[in-house]
Amino acid sequence: MNDIATAVAEPKPAPSSLPHHVFLIDGSGFIFRAYFARAKDSKAERFRTTRGVPTEVVMIFSNMLDKYLRETDADHIAVIFDASGRSFRNEIYGDYKANRREMPDDLAPQLEHVRRAADAFGVCQIEMENFEADDLIATYARHAVEAGAKVTILSSDKDMMQLVSDGSITMRDPMTDRVIGEVEVREKFGVGPDKVIEVQALCGDSTDNVPGVPGIGVKTAAELINAYGNLETLLARAHEIKQPKRREALVENEAKARLSKELVKLDDDVPLPCPLSHLRVKPYDPDKLFPFLDEMELRALKSRIEKRLAITAPSAPAEPTEPVIPEIPPFSAERTYAVVDTIEGLEHWTDAAEQAGQVALWPAPSLLPGTRPEFCGLALAVSSGLAAYVPLGHRSTELFQGGGLSREDATARLQPLLENPGVLKIVHDAKGAAHLLRRYGIALRPYDCTMLMSYVLDGGQFEHTIEEATRRAFEHELVPQKEILGTGKSLICFAELTSAAARDYAAERADAALRLHMLLKARLLREHMVTFYEII
């Protein structure tokens, strides 16, 4: 057990010392699920510090903590981890979890940093030898309910669905923000929470190497428990079952079924490593939090927290409101798109972006089939209908008349903006843009990807190109690529465009990305999908 809690002023004072809402985070479950979800995506960027320390899981975990500390009304919170080594279940069954794979090399060093993240955010972290996190969560949940509090368990682990009780204990999937109540448990197991362990005793669990009864799955197990009420009655009357194979399996594996029930039943009477009162939520301590975020190079998260702390005066928490979709001007309204061909003009736009705290980008690649993409221009949008195009590598002499911008001068002034942790960059296909810019020594950060936002919200309903997303969101047709670049043998590269054509094409796309971000960000909030978007 590692109890980090200390007595400090409460950010959300309760009318009494009793808890109102207790938030219990399955730390170990979240870590592994987040890691393997990212590992499945071969295109996902792998995050490391400049010193080479892997921080992917630390980043996801820290963002998750910040989200729930900010958005919930919980006055008590804890992150609960599995202790290293064996648990009491291994004494019952030596092969319990014997099939678990070795921890990946790049995950192991992050575990200590995850614990340090909980410490930095002022969240109590708990673990206990010989017991699993599930047992500690079950015990704290029982104590909280007995004290009159409601409980939210941040986990999607099916083993904890036996704890769900509408009105007192619910679960919340940290990856999708989906709430799991009695209805969802019944959808999963075919029985209510009070019968979950009866079903698990029959169907077993291959993940934890719980044997169950061979040949019986969740659906059959639910049918049997609904018919006979519980495992013991079923086993006592197994001879009545008409299906020969099912009957024989139950008779021959009676001991396995009882063993499995013992393994899946959570122990809610574990000696508390620290009292419930130590779980009280505490305000952020910048002197403790920011050095950790700096060490882990989590600049975007630090910037967001700095802005919140700077504008938030101590007061009673406001009532939560439903996120509102902002009013976005139609594309038919007046638009101003400019070509930036002087240092003074470029500084005007970079200053405007820094003042706004965000800027939408459209990097223009000069690409022909069989050639390597080159960075030949960048469009910036700072507000709806207001955007500019900065040419960097065009062959058209028109763009460089009068001693215009050189690539070196433009890049030198753009790089600080593109790497400024206090300015959010909005890009459609951010990974592609980041890869292109990286070739020129520019590390794009922090950024939001409107293509990924669109995919998270609408999945496979349509292609998530900026053209299609803009068409669906605003009923507006962007200038088609073939209209300015041609097709087939007449295809030209972007670097050969005139200033007007390059401006109209690129600036309009940066403008569209900015408008999409306004719309999609509000939808992510309203549909409780922010966490899922942030960890993908």
Write phi, then psi, for 225 (nearest 5 degrees).
-70, -40
Q: Average pLDDT for residues 439-458, to the nearest whole number?
A: 88
β-pair partners for 210: 205
Q: Which tokens is 326 given?
A: 């902002």
Write phi, then psi, for 34 (nearest 5 degrees).
-65, -45
β-pair partners for 172: 154, 179
CA pair distance 195, 135, nearest whole angstrom = 18
Question: For residues 57 and 110, is the Cβ–Cβ distance under 8 A?
Answer: yes
Count CA within 13 A, CB hemisphere, residue 263: 29
pLDDT tens, 383-420?
999 999 998 877 654 544 444 578 888 888 999 999 88
- First-to-last CA distance in the chain? 31
Q: Which tokens is 171 given?
A: 């679960």
Q: Is the peptide bond before 286 cis (omega within 30 degrees of 0)?
A: no
Q: Give one DSSP letter per residue of 149-177, joined into a string.
A: -EEEEE---GGGGGG-BTTTEEEE-TTT-
79, containing H or E segment = strand 76-80
pLDDT tens, 269-317?
999 988 998 999 999 999 999 999 999 999 888 988 998 887 443 444 4
CA pair distance 289, 185, nearest whole angstrom = 37
pLDDT tens, 327-347?
788 888 889 999 998 988 999
Look up tokens 């080159």; give the residue: 374
Nearest residue to 302 via CA among 176, 175, 177, 121:
121
Q: Which residue has the higher pLDDT, 307 or 536?
A: 307
Count CA within 13 A, CB hemisphere, residue 367: 9
Q: pLDDT > 70: what percent of the chain?
A: 88
Binning pLDDT at 50, 70 and 90, where does residue 41 land? low
Question: For residues 517 and 448, is the Cβ–Cβ distance under 8 A?
Answer: yes
381 three-class SS: strand
Q: Which residue has the higher pLDDT, 527 or 150?
A: 150
Nearest residue to 210 via CA among 220, 218, 200:
200
Is 266's pLDDT higher than 90? yes
Look up tokens 């820290």; give the residue: 62
Question: For residues 86 and 129, is the Cβ–Cβ distance under 8 A?
Answer: no
What is the per-residue pLDDT for 462?
Answer: 77
Is 378's pLDDT higher than 70? yes
What is the per-residue pLDDT for 210?
Answer: 95
CATH number of 197-264: 1.10.150.20
Write phi, then psi, for 196 (nearest 5 degrees).
-60, -45
Q: Which tokens is 36 given?
A: 């393997």
Q: Average pLDDT for residues 184-197, to the nearest whole number?
A: 96
Mean predicted lDDT score pLDDT of the chain: 85
Is 463's pLDDT higher than 90? no
What is the per-residue pLDDT for 45?
Answer: 56
Q: Average pLDDT for residues 366-386, to the nearest whole number?
A: 78
β-pair partners for 377: 364, 391
Q: pLDDT > 90: what percent of the chain?
A: 51
Binning pLDDT at 50, 70 and 90, where does residue 360 land? very high
What is the per-residue pLDDT for 490?
Answer: 74
Q: How far is CA 104 from the centre of its chain?
A: 21
Q: How far is CA 458 from the centre of its chain?
A: 16
Question: For residues 292 and 118, is the Cβ–Cβ distance under 8 A?
Answer: no
**Taking the CB of residue 118, how many other CB atoms lie within 10 A of it?**
23
Nearest residue to 382 via CA among 428, 336, 422:
336
CA pair distance 168, 145, nearest whole angstrom = 7
Write phi, then psi, for 440 (nearest 5 degrees).
-110, 20
CA pair distance 11, 73, nearest whole angstrom = 11
For the chain, the structural domain boundaries read 21-189+268-279, 197-264, 336-535
pTM of the predicted protein model: 0.60
Q: Which amino acid is at 389?
A: Y
Taking only Cα atoms into account, the Rg of the chain, rounded to an integer number of angstroms, comes to: 28
Q: Average pLDDT for residues 476-500, to the nearest whole number?
A: 82
61: Cβ–Cβ under 8 A, 6 or more apart, which residues?
27, 30, 31, 34, 114, 117
CATH architecture of the domain with range 336-535: 2-Layer Sandwich (3.30)
Q: Average pLDDT for residues 122-148, to the nearest whole number?
A: 94
Where on the phi/psi map is residue 69: left (φ > 0), alpha (ψ -120 to 50), or beta? alpha
Angle between helices 56-71 and 27-39 (to 10 degrees): 130
Q: Average pLDDT for residues 417-424, to the nearest whole number?
A: 86
Q: Average pLDDT for residues 172-192, to the nearest whole number?
A: 91
CA pair distance 129, 312, nearest whole angstrom = 41
Is 261's pLDDT higher than 50? yes
Write phi, then psi, for 259 (nearest 5 degrees).
-60, -45
Question: For residues 388 and 379, is the Cβ–Cβ distance under 8 A?
Answer: yes
Q: Give one DSSP letter per residue of 252-267, joined into a string.
A: HTHHHHHHHHHHHS--
Is 250's pLDDT higher than 80? yes
Q: Which residue has the higher pLDDT, 258 or 522?
A: 258
Q: Which tokens is 105 given?
A: 């090399």
Is 1's pLDDT higher than 70? no
Q: Which tokens is 522 given?
A: 């509000």
CA pair distance 155, 175, nearest whole angstrom = 9
Task: Identify which of 180-189, 416-425, 436-445 has the greatest average pLDDT.
Answer: 180-189
Q: Which residue has the higher pLDDT, 5 or 352?
A: 352
CA dihedral 199, 202, 205, 206 (to 10 degrees): -150
Q: Which residue has the higher pLDDT, 26 or 530?
A: 26
What is the per-residue pLDDT for 368?
Answer: 55
User: Could you tell me the CATH superfamily of domain 21-189+268-279?
Assistant: 5'-nuclease (3.40.50.1010)
Question: For residues 506 and 360, is the Cβ–Cβ distance under 8 A?
Answer: no
